[in-house]
Amino acid sequence: MVEIVLISALDGVLYGMLLFLMASGLTVIFSMMGVLNFAHASFYMLGAFFGFQISRYLGFWAGLVAAPLLVGGLGTVVERYGLRKVHRHGHVAELLFTFGLAFVIEDLVEMVWGKLPVDYRVPPSLDFPAFTIFSGNYPAFKVFELLTAIAIFAALLLVVKRTRVGLIVQAALSHPDMVGMLGHNVDRIFMLVFGVGAGLAAVAGVIAGPALVTQSNMAGLLGPILFVVVVVGGLGSLSGAFLASLLIGLVQTFAVASNASLAGAFGDLVPSGWLQAYVGDIWNVTVAQVAPILPYLLLVLILIFRPRGLMGTRES
């Protein structure tokens, strides 16, 4: 029991940190430009596939450096030649643009790499058990993932809170016009932030790719969860996104490890006519089976009881 709790906690924190790598970019882009980037998870997927492709020729470490740079560059191009053009048509057009982009990226990835998972492997230098808890081994690659995510988190915090660039970014979050008046090129700041956000998502892709499954549907699976993180944490709040990422990471990991169900808690249903089959579906389902819907359930609950999210300061 303790073993399960401990491993689940580690895995949950790891998953939460990966979520935060993506959610941080998403929430900063949202609060600066008012654009909810639907293609954010697609950048994560591109990071994984670029990392895979590069690792086949130059090894994993080259992929870890090059793939985020490539994707980050792609992000700036998307902002400069796509989003900025659509901007004058309003937020709905921007949102729909990224929505279409997500579809196109998924189709392109499917075309180039196929629908089946690709063989993206953990590099041999990290392919050993880091430590043993009770009877199970904890792989070194997961420790590496966790450390990388924490390092990036710390660096991001440092940049945003302690440097001049971070100061300008923070100011542009709430008062973009004023920052422009003070002589900063707001357009370029937006472009950079978009690129860095895409790059961070790609880092998450490169380090998550070998551990999870690198497949053309990975963006579609993760994208909606990212939105849940951003809304639950509070739109535009970095610390909220951090909390929500960890929360959802832990909730999902613990749920998957749990076998409890209503039937287990209260005993089997007494047969009672035609309704039994339908109620039985709910009665016998285990917590592990409902794990995929828990984030959305959390979203609905948060919206009912705390519409501005955990750490949010504004309603929309």
Partner 1 sequence: MSDIARPPLPGLPSGRAGGVLATYGVWIAAAVVLAVLPHVFASGLALTAMCLMGTMIIFALSYNMLLGQTGLLSFGQAVFFGLGGFLTVHAMNVAESGGVPLPLAVFPLFGGVAGLAFGVIFGAVSTRRAGTAFAMITLGVAELVSSSALILRHFFGGEEGVTTDRTGLVHLFGLTFGPQIQVYYLIAVWCFVSAAAMYALTCTPFGRICNAVRDNPERAGFIGYDTQTVRFISFSLSGLFAGIAGGLAAINFEIMNAAQLGLAQSGTVILMTYIGGVGDFVGPIIGAILVTYLQVALSDVTDVWQLYFGLLFIGMVIFVPDGIAGLLARQRPLLLARQLHRVAPFYALALVPGLAAITGLSMMIEMTNQLAVHVSDGPAMAFLYVPFDADAPLPWLVAATLLAAGTWLFLRAARAARHAYDEALAASRARGRGP
Binding site for partner 1 (CB under 8 A): 30, 34, 36, 82, 85-86, 89, 91-93, 95-97, 99-101, 103-104, 107-108, 111-114, 220, 224, 227-228, 230-231, 235, 277-278, 280-282, 285, 289-290, 292-293, 296-297, 299-300, 303-304, 307, 315-316
Q: Report the distance separating Cα 227 and Cα 284, nearest Å.
A: 30
Count the Cβ atoms, other than its own, within 10 Å of residue 299. Answer: 20
Q: Which helix (H) or strand (E) holds 137?
A: strand 136-139
- CB of residue 170 to partner 1, shortest distance in Å: 21
Give me the DSSP letters along 22-71: HHHHHHHHHHHH----TTHHHHHHHHHHHHHHHHHHH-HHHHHHHHHHHH
Return the number of the residue (30 or 141) whose C-beta is nearest partner 1: 30
The vertex-222 CA angle with 252 and 305, nearest 5°, equals 60
Return the number of the residue (59 or 100) whose C-beta is nearest partner 1: 100
- CB of residue 250 to partner 1, shortest distance in Å: 19
In angstroms, the Cα distances linking 83 to 80, 96, 106, 189, 285 are 7, 10, 19, 14, 44
- CB of residue 38 to partner 1, shortest distance in Å: 9
Residue 39 tokens read as 């293609």
- CB of residue 90 to partner 1, shortest distance in Å: 8
Q: Report the distance separating Cα 91 and Cα 229, nearest Å.
A: 21
Return the number of the residue (90 or 136) whose C-beta is nearest partner 1: 90
- CB of residue 173 to partner 1, shortest distance in Å: 15
The vertex-204 CA angle with 294 and 169, nearest 5°, equals 100
Return the number of the residue (235 or 241) whose C-beta is nearest partner 1: 235
Return the number of the residue (26 or 64) whose C-beta is nearest partner 1: 26
Return the number of the residue (272 or 316) whose C-beta is nearest partner 1: 316
- CB of residue 82 to partner 1, shortest distance in Å: 7
